[in-house]
Amino acid sequence: MAKAIVIYETRSGNTEMMAKAIETGLKKAGVDVELKKGARATVDNLKDVDAVILGSPTYVRSLIAAMKTFLFEMDKVDLKGKVGAAFGSYGWSGESIEILTETMKNLAGMNVIEPGLRINRRPTEKGLEECREFGKKIAERIK
Ligand SMILES: Cc1cc2nc3c(=O)[nH]c(=O)nc-3n(C[C@H](O)[C@H](O)[C@H](O)COP(=O)(O)O)c2cc1C
């Protein structure tokens, strides 16, 4: 069974709603998924996964601090050629998705699905459906 991990952080819950809906989309497509907060994720969580999906809201044009810290943890593992994807909620500029995408590509040499998924503020039902579809799309790449 293909295996994926969704690692994310959130301050007011919006990116968490996205993470859970992406998890649902992956599960429905038959992928074994783990959902983990960035502050609690370690290298051990990255072993034997086919895809790493990273989520961060944008705060002051950057990643939320815990996801920035997690990237240093991620640097300890060889993820070259693995599938990656980025997502996050944003208010007006949404830099975090591009930052996560770039880092997965340049630091880890991952095969990143582009574009990543950005949702403005709190996801509506339509937004959550987009997240589930994004999960399905990732599943198709690793199955
Ligand atoms: C202090 C602060 C700074 C923010 N800076 C940005 C920003 O630079 N660009 C942007 O697109 N949104 C910005 N936002 C909006 C958040 O990204 C938005 O509220 C998002 O939905 C929060 O996601 P979360 O609930 O997962 O934490 C900012 C919000 C706050 C409170």
For the chain, domains (ranges, CATH) are 3-142 (3.40.50.360)
Q: What is the mean pLDDT of the chain?
A: 98
Task: Return the percentage of the chain with pLDDT > 70, whole number.
Answer: 100
- Ligand 1 lining (C-beta closer than 6 Å): 10-15, 57-61, 89-94, 121
**Segment 126-138 mean pLDDT:** 98
Q: Of the residues 9, 58, 63, 64, which should be mutated to test ligand 1's pocket, given the most ligand atoms within 8 Å of the CB?
A: 58
pLDDT of residue 118: 98
pLDDT of residue 79: 97
Neighbours of 134 (CB within 10 A): 22
pLDDT tens by residue, 20-45: 999 999 999 999 999 999 999 999 99
pLDDT of residue 69: 97
**Segment 72-87 mean pLDDT:** 97
pLDDT tens by residue, 84-119: 999 999 999 999 999 999 999 999 999 999 999 999
Say if residue 5 is exposed, middle or buried (CB neighbours under 10 Å; 0-12, 13-18, 19+).
Answer: buried
14 CB-near residues (< 8 Å, 6+ apart): 57, 89, 119, 121, 122, 123
pLDDT of residue 94: 98
What ligand 1 atom has the least distance to the C-alpha of 18? 26
Distance of CA 87 to the CA centre of its chain: 5
What ligand 1 atom has the least distance to the C-alpha of 88? 26
In whole angstroms, what is the distance from residue 49 CA to residue 58 CA?
A: 26
pLDDT of residue 77: 96
What ligand 1 atom has the least distance to the C-alpha of 17? 26
User: What distance in angstroms lies between residue 36's CA and the mean position of ligand 1's atoms?
Assistant: 21
